[in-house]
Amino acid sequence: MRTLNVATILAITVGLVLGTAGPTQAAPPGSGYDYTDPAQTGCSATGITIWSKELRHPATGTVNGVMELRYSTACETNWVRVNNYIPGAAARKIITRPRVHAPAGGSLEYATDSTIDVYYGWSYGLQFYAPSWVCVDVGAVLTLDNVVIGSNGQALDRVC
């Protein structure tokens, strides 16, 4: 008969407990969320759309997609999500958090992300900690063969 030492039993017990953990839970809010994936952190589980805009072709006005600003109520983060209606088109999602001073006297530093992927349907960029009192600048551009086929119509939109 084989005997196990205390360290082995402890390792097996910890492995079983961690292996049976439920879905990813979002950590407490904070700037530790900057430049992270909202799905991997669990923040997308409480994500709501707080603003949206059609992505129109600059010459024809045809709607080729829509962009949304998402907000996690648990993590207090924002990220841009795009629904790309054109197969083969690249979707660029842009979000910027200007440097702001927190009411408690601290400050949130400037942060920006510009995620590009070729994905038909919904895709999203990275998130930033941006509590409800923080404004963010957002934008999106759809391109096909390096030609703009959809955008929010200006450089960036400020959403507060």
**Is the separation of the CB atoms in 111 and 128 below 8 Å?**
yes
Question: DSSP code of 120?
Answer: S
Q: How is residue 13 written in tokens? A: 């017990």
Q: What is the pLDDT of residues 34-53, one digit of tens each?
A: 999 999 999 999 999 999 99
Q: What is the pLDDT of residue 5?
A: 39
Q: What is the pLDDT of residue 93?
A: 98
**Per-residue CA distances from 12 to 17, 21, 136 (Å):** 9, 14, 46
Share of the chain above pLDDT 90, in %: 74
Q: What is the pLDDT of residues 56-112, one digit of tens each?
A: 999 999 999 999 999 999 999 999 999 999 999 999 999 999 998 877 778 889 999
User: Whose structure tokens read 């959403």?
Assistant: 159
Burial call 52-64: b when 16+ CB within 10 Å, e when fewer: ebebbbeeeeeeb
* The pLDDT of residue 142 is above 50: yes
Q: What is the pLDDT of residue 39?
A: 98
